[in-house]
Amino acid sequence: MALANKIDAAQAAETLTRWLAGKTPGATEVKVTDVTVPSASGLSTETVLFTAHWSREGFAETQGMVARVAPDGPGVFPSYDLAKEASVMAALAENTDVPAPRILFTEDDPAVLGAPFLVMEHVTGQIPSDDPPFTTGGWVLELSPAQRRDMWLRSIDVLAAIHAVDHTGLGLDFLESAEHGGGLDAQLERWSQLFDWAREGQPNPTIEDAFRWLRENQPTDPGPNVLNWGDARVGNIIYSQDQQPAAVLDWEMVSLVNREVELGWWLFLMRHHTEGIGAPLPEGIPGPEETIARYQQTSGHQLADLHWYEVFAGARLASIMVRAARMMIDGGLLPPESTMALNNPASQLLASLLGLPSPTGETTSFIGNR
């Protein structure tokens, strides 16, 4: 789901060159080239890819870089904390085997790219597409069934590795606070508040009923908090040519909460990209049962109450779609009378999981609306 990008590539090359010169003491002949602003960065942050060149002590150096830029106005979420993302990725990249990109810089001054941003190393590889979904086209479908299976299972192993991280030892225990959504109670409250903010006072029976059900049926013993990536899905992983996860991206929803929250999100997003859009599960990709079995085998942890956590994931994604619908209407990508906030693949699936009536209005997806 993408709106029109606001960053001009040519201007960004100039401003990034000046900015980088001040960030690299002792470097000369600093220059930024090959600036690219992907057309489908999303409704959240904007992405800028570029190559940095400089000389130091007579030797030329080159580094591919990626800037992740916070929205300079209203976004999918009420606020953005790039410093939090950067601290998590840096801790993982420097101290663990989790394939997190190396953080190179952070910048709070909006004068450079219009909003605060972080810069990470560029990791070579391919990312499964969300629009169109990788289940309907693209390089993933060009793989053999065995390769797709290998890609999927290795990705589940990455989830287990993230959850096994000693977050206290890495100095990430600040994520325990309610401010950062630490613990299941805080997560449920945080997403309920986001839904109320996103709907702007408008009724949304499906999501309202879902949050009511979630509160009434919340697991009483969710288990220990572990590091949750937050937006766990293959569309946020860069894969090398041999289908090995090379980099885990997009940590803006990172938190400390029980691992089932992460698995519920993973399972629901896969349901969204298959059943939700009427696409079959590509041959070779394991279904939910095998996915769960692989995670339990790798992590040594038995998952519980996964239906509740998948409903929670559905309520979260449907809430994001409420906000996305408003942004797309405001951006001219949807007509003012669009019913996307009420009826979209996420809300349809959510209603199905709970046996609720189908949402009213015409079903509208963000896919293809750009």
Query: pLDDT of the chain along its 370 residues, tens only?
Result: 345 567 888 999 999 999 999 998 888 899 999 999 986 545 568 899 999 999 988 789 999 999 999 987 778 898 888 999 999 999 999 999 999 999 999 999 999 999 999 999 999 999 999 888 999 999 999 999 999 999 999 999 999 999 999 999 999 999 988 777 789 999 999 999 999 999 999 999 999 999 999 999 999 999 999 999 999 999 999 999 999 999 999 999 999 999 999 999 999 999 999 999 999 999 999 999 999 999 999 999 999 999 999 999 999 999 999 999 999 998 888 999 999 999 999 999 999 999 999 998 788 776 654 4
Residue 2, pLDDT score: 41
Distance of CA 10 to the CA centre of its chain: 28
Q: Is there a contact between 120 and 65 (Cβ–Cβ < 8 Å)?
A: yes
State the chain's maximal CA–CA distance in angstroms: 69
Rounded Cα gap, residues 355 and 226, in angstroms:
31
First to last CA, the chain: 7
Distant-in-sequence, close-in-space partners of 58: CB < 8 Å, separation ≥ 6: none
Residue 367, pLDDT score: 65
State the alpha helices, DSSP H only, in 331-361: 345-354
**Residue 248 in tokens:** 């885990």
Dihedral in degrees, nearest 10, Cα atoms 239, 245, 248, 254:
140
Residue 1, pLDDT score: 37
Rounded Cα gap, residues 347 and 152, in angstroms:
26
Domain locations in the chain? 9-121, 159-232+254-354
**Residue 201 in tokens:** 């006072």
Which residue in the list 231, 242, 250, 330 is annotated as catalytic? 231
Q: Which fold has domain 159-232+254-354?
A: Aminoglycoside 3'-phosphotransferase; Chain: A, domain 2 (3.90.1200)
Q: Is 231 a catalytic residue?
A: yes
- Positive/negative CA dihedral, 77, 20, 5, 40: negative
CATH number of 9-121: 3.30.200.20
Q: Is omega for the bond preceding 132 within 30 degrees of 0, making it cis? A: yes
What values do phi and psi take at 184, rounded to 5? Answer: -65, -40
Q: Is there a contact between 50 and 32 (Cβ–Cβ < 8 Å)?
A: yes
Q: Classify residue 181 as left (phi > 0), alpha (psi -120 to 50) or beta.
A: left
DSSP β-bridge partners for residue 50:
65
